[in-house]
Amino acid sequence: MKPRALDYVRARSIDHAIELLSTGADARVLAGGQSMMPAINMRLASPDVLIDIGRIDELRSIEVGSHLRIGAAVTQAEVAGHPDVLHRWPMLTAAIAQIGQPPIRNRGTVCGSLAHNDPQAELPAVAVALEAVVTSQSRRGTRSIPADEFFRGTFTTSLEDDEIVTAVDFPEPALGQGWAFQEFSQQPGDLATAGAAVVLNRREAAANRVVVFGVGVGPTRATLIEEAIRYTTDPSLDPQLVDRWGATLSPFDDAHASAHTKVQHAKQIVVRAVAEARGRMS
């Protein structure tokens, strides 16, 4: 299938991109194009105008300080290959390694994956687990949106049509924090049928996060599991509790797996990920 005719504009700056988005035409942002272009080619999306933000210098930086700031034009491969990210935000590196194949990660952006919010995507779950904050900009100004409030449902976020994501910030993980990122997919590089991003804190158990993806409408906190592990250091989870939690999930059947299989995978993944995160606590 071929896409229908559309206009393509390469934005020179953030202001230029915002101006182009505010014209009233059905304009969409193009970052790495790894989700947008397949959608256009399959006519699942038919915007009038594509606004390419990939060469805007202001969006191209990775800043490392007390937090990690990733600009909206930074690719997943650039983040995964950054030495400070590997040492200080290893969950990001681990999750990016699971996204498609190297050519996808060489073009796809971290912020694009967040804005797209595919329910099977790794990075929205990581953003919720690590309490990331998304920065967006429009003619009305700049907004900081905590990941907990950013993801609204399947392929849906709290972004307005005229707003672009300019960056995402990941705070420094707490000292002694344990983490794990696990997913199950039919073959390496396939979208996950279920996955989990887990963060456990020795000093502040209330800040524990167990986030699953692939089994709902986007990244979902497993609050039943979070509550249960708050007051114990046992790395294993009670199987009855895991069954009760599994019964709260409502994934849908797709070409990769049935809903039933996804729930079974999610239960196994959560058990493994919690044990792995416990093992990493210091």
Ligand X SMILES: Cc1cc2nc3c(=O)[nH]c(=O)nc-3n(C[C@H](O)[C@H](O)[C@H](O)COP(=O)(O)OP(=O)(O)OC[C@H]3O[C@@H](n4cnc5c(N)ncnc54)[C@H](O)[C@@H]3O)c2cc1C
| Sites of contact with ligand X (CB under 6 A) | 28-36, 38, 53, 72, 99-100, 104, 108-109, 111-113, 115-116, 118, 121-122, 159, 164-165, 191
Closest approach of ligand X to the CB of residue 199, in Å: 19
180 beta partners: 198
- Only one residue has tokens 């912020």, namely 111
Judged by beta carbon, residue 160 or residue 204, the one nearer ligand X is: 160
Give the C-alpha separation, 45 to 157, whole Å: 17
Closest approach of ligand X to the CB of residue 95, in Å: 9
Closest approach of ligand X to the CB of residue 86, in Å: 19
8 Å CB contact between 20 and 11:
yes
8 Å CB contact between 220 and 211:
yes
Using only C-alpha atoms, the chain has a radius of gyration, in whole angstroms, of 19
Nearest to 153 by CA among 192, 124, 126: 124
Give the C-alpha separation, 212 to 194, whole Å: 7
Closest approach of ligand X to the CB of residue 127, in Å: 12
8 Å CB contact between 195 and 106:
no
Closest approach of ligand X to the CB of residue 76, in Å: 7
Measuring CA to CA, how many Å separate 161 from each of 48, 116, 167, 265? 14, 13, 17, 35
Judged by beta carbon, residue 75 or residue 201, the one nearer ligand X is: 75
Closest approach of ligand X to the CB of residue 105, in Å: 7
In the complex, residue closest to ligand X by CB: 108
Judged by beta carbon, residue 166 or residue 208, the one nearer ligand X is: 166
Judged by beta carbon, residue 158 or residue 241, the one nearer ligand X is: 158
Judged by beta carbon, residue 121 or residue 229, the one nearer ligand X is: 121
Judged by beta carbon, residue 52 or residue 172, the one nearer ligand X is: 52
